[in-house]
């Protein structure tokens, strides 16, 4: 997995099977979630963001070219 940075934004491209995923971020050594995105609390009150991935294959693969991972650096 390789993070890409653009200014203050960071991104990563992952190919995931269909399903619902729970995720958090580590910021300054602390687990955090994004309240602007869908989230859920478990029975202990811990909050995670949710990502619902559906099977989707675009008709025109050229339309996803901007999401292709960049080449690995030589060093």
Most confident segment among 3-7, 10-14, 29-33: 29-33
Tell me the domain boundaries of the chain.
Answer: 15-59
Helix, strand and coil content of the chain, in percent to the nearest 5, comes to: 10, 35, 55
Instruction: Quote the pTM value.
Output: 0.59
Alpha-carbon span 16 to 1, nearest angstrom: 13
Return the CATH number of 15-59, one of 2.60.40.10, 3.50.50.60, 1.10.10.200, 3.90.950.20: 2.60.40.10
What's the pLDDT at 7?
A: 81
39 CB-contact burial (10 Å; exposed 0-12 / middle 13-18 / buried 19+)? middle
Span 24-75, pLDDT tens digits? 989 899 999 999 999 999 899 999 999 998 876 666 655 555 555 555 555 4
């Amino acid at each position: 997995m390789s993070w890409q940075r653009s200014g203050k934004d960071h991104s990563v491209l992952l190919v995931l099977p269909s399903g619902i995923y729970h995720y958090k971020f580590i910021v300054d050594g602390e687990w955090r979630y994004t309240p602007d995105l869908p989230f859920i609390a478990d029975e202990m009150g811990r909050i995670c963001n949710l990502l619902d991935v559906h099977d989707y294959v675009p008709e025109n693969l050229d339309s996803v070219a901007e999401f292709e991972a960049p080449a690995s650096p030589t060093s």
